[in-house]
Structure 1
Amino acid sequence: MTIRPNAPMPIQLRHFMRAGQHPARSVACPHCGAAAHRPCRVPSSSRTLADNHPARRSAWAEATAVCPQCQVAPGTPCHTEGFALPDQVHARRYLEAEETAA
């Protein structure tokens, strides 16, 4: 068996190895501009944060889960009476995303 030290890691294994991190880190942060799989930071001082920004969690839930409240597909923003919710999702969509990630 040949061992290739620079072989790309499969995405399923990469997420398993990062199990200590919140799954929202798999998307880029729209608030601070942190790349996927990088910690959020304070834009003015570039100090890294221990937790993710709420906008990042919203973007992750929107990208990965169906909203049970407004019945939209992943990738579609939540809406209330036909108007899209700006940079936020319904609470039930967070629960659905966490169940999907588990």
Structure 2
Amino acid sequence: MTIRRNAPMPDSIRHFMRAGQHPARSVPCPHCGAAEHRPCRILANGRILSQPHPRRTSAWAEAVACCPHCQAAPGTPCHTDGIPLLDDVHARRHLEAKEMAA
């Protein structure tokens, strides 16, 4: 019997295997460079974090949810008076993304 470490897995099974992870791990981390579905790390010493970086959760919220505050569509950054927010989203967009993930 041959053991394959990288055998393909159907998406339906993969979803249930990762159910305990934070949903923000579905996007790459802009802070530490962690790939999709990989945990965030501290850049100085390589220690693995139990929760994703705040910039990663903002990137995830921006990717999956509409902002009820500024009416930004998924994939577009939040803005205040036409000026985009840098590396952040409105708090209401975080709540909307959490509700969608639940």
Q: Same fold (TM over 0.5)?
A: yes
TM-align CA RMSD:
1.4
Aligned length: 98
What is the match of residue 100 of structure 2?
100
Residue equivalent to 1:24: 24
Distance apart, 1:8 and its partner CA: 2.4
Matched residue SS, 2:95: helix
Mark the runs of 5 or more structure 2 residues left unpaired by the alignment.
Answer: none
Give 2:67's aligned residue.
67
Amino acid at match of 2:36: A
Task: Answer with 11-20 or 61-70: which moved more.
Answer: 11-20
SS at match of 1:32: coil
Q: What is the TM-score of this pair, normalised by structure 1?
A: 0.89
Q: Distance in 2 between matches of 1:34 and 1:57?
A: 13
> Residue 48 of structure 2 corresponds to which residue in structure 1?
48
* Deviation, structure 1 residue 51: 1.1
1:75-94 equivalence runs, <5 A: 75-94=75-94
- Per the alignment, residue 58 of structure 1 pairs with 58
**Unaligned stretches of 5+ in structure 1?**
none
Using the size of structure 2 for normalisation, the TM-score is 0.89
